[in-house]
């Protein structure tokens, strides 16, 4: 699906294909899993749920979710990087109720009103037009469906600016309050934004120890 992407999205695809080639698809799980587990607690996923993992990378969280929704549910991982999606599809433990799709977050080829939950781990700040992605998620969610956007790169993480300076692609650097406002302006309901910080006894916290989890119900 790489042909015909707008230049900004094509740049993201190339960059994350390069991350995959360097083995970062699976290794990101090490940094992102502890916070993802906290997001999963908030999601309250049940058997039979239909969950989208947006910007799924190599698919480790999609597989985790597939286990939780059981054979009557489904977990769908979507990513703009075809190399990440190939790695996810070829994983030896890919469950039967997990599907992986290469697509930009702005246009996901899936029927509307399908998903009960959307999780997005460390991906939302890469989307050039975040409002367009919110509209696409509104289309994809069933009534009452909720989004859970987990981001370590936010204005509130003391490492954020140096992290932005190192990245080869543009990102949004918003505060937790700005994410709340973005969701409010887009008409999302029951908005909650939680900020995670490192334990006070950690002398040298990793840059992934801070995170912002924005949660909301479909308009």
Ligand X SMILES: C[S@@+](CC[C@H](N)C(=O)[O-])C[C@H]1O[C@@H](n2cnc3c(N)ncnc32)[C@H](O)[C@@H]1O
Binding of residue 105 to ligand X (CB under 6 A): yes
Exactly one of 84, 152, 183, 214 binds ligand X (CB under 6 A); that residue is 84
Binding of residue 83 to ligand X (CB under 6 A): no
Binding of residue 124 to ligand X (CB under 6 A): no
Exactly one of 76, 121, 147, 215 binds ligand X (CB under 6 A); that residue is 121
Closer residue to ligand X, CB minimum distance, 95 or 104:
104
**What is the greatest pairwise CA distance in the chain?**
50
Angle, in degrees to the nearest 10, between helices 7-21 and 24-43: 110
- Beta-carbon contacts of residue 56 (< 8 Å; ≥ 6 apart): 62, 77, 78, 79, 84, 85, 88, 100
Closer residue to ligand X, CB minimum distance, 72 or 168:
168
Exactly one of 56, 64, 69, 213 binds ligand X (CB under 6 A); that residue is 56
Q: What are phi and psi of 85, to 5 degrees?
A: -65, -40
Binding of residue 104 to ligand X (CB under 6 A): yes
Binding of residue 57 to ligand X (CB under 6 A): yes
Binding of residue 118 to ligand X (CB under 6 A): no
Stretch that binds ligand X, among 9-17, 110-118, 138-146, 175-183 (CB under 6 A): 9-17
Binding site for ligand X (CB under 6 A): 9, 12, 16, 28-29, 32, 55-57, 79-81, 84, 104-105, 121-123, 126-127
């Amino acid at each position: 699906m790489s042909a015909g992407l707008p230049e900004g999205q094509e740049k993201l695809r190339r960059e994350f294909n390069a991350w995959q080639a360097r083995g970062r698809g699976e290794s990101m799980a090490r940094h992102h899993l502890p916070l993802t587990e906290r997001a999963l607690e908030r999601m309250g996923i049940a058997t039979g749920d239909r969950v989208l993992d947006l910007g799924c990378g190599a698919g480790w969280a999609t597989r985790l979710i597939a286990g939780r929704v059981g054979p009557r549910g489904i977990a769908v991982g979507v990513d703009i990087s075809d190399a990440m999606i190939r790695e996810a599809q070829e994983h030896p433990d890919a469950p039967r109720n997990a599907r992986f799709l290469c697509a930009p977050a702005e246009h996901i080829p899936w029927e509307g009103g399908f998903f009960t939950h959307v999780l997005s781990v460390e991906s939302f700040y890469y989307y050039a037009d975040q409002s367009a992605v919110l509209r696409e998620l509104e289309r994809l969610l069933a009534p009452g469906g909720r989004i859970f956007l987990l981001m370590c790169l936010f204005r509130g993480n003391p490492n954020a600016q140096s992290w932005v300076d190192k990245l080869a692609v543009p990102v949004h650097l918003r505060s937790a309050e700005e994410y709340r406002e973005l969701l409010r302006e887009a008409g999302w309901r029951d908005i909650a934004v939680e900020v995670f910080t490192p334990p006070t006894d950690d002398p040298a916290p990793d840059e992934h120890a801070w995170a912002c989890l924005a949660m909301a119900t479909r308009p």
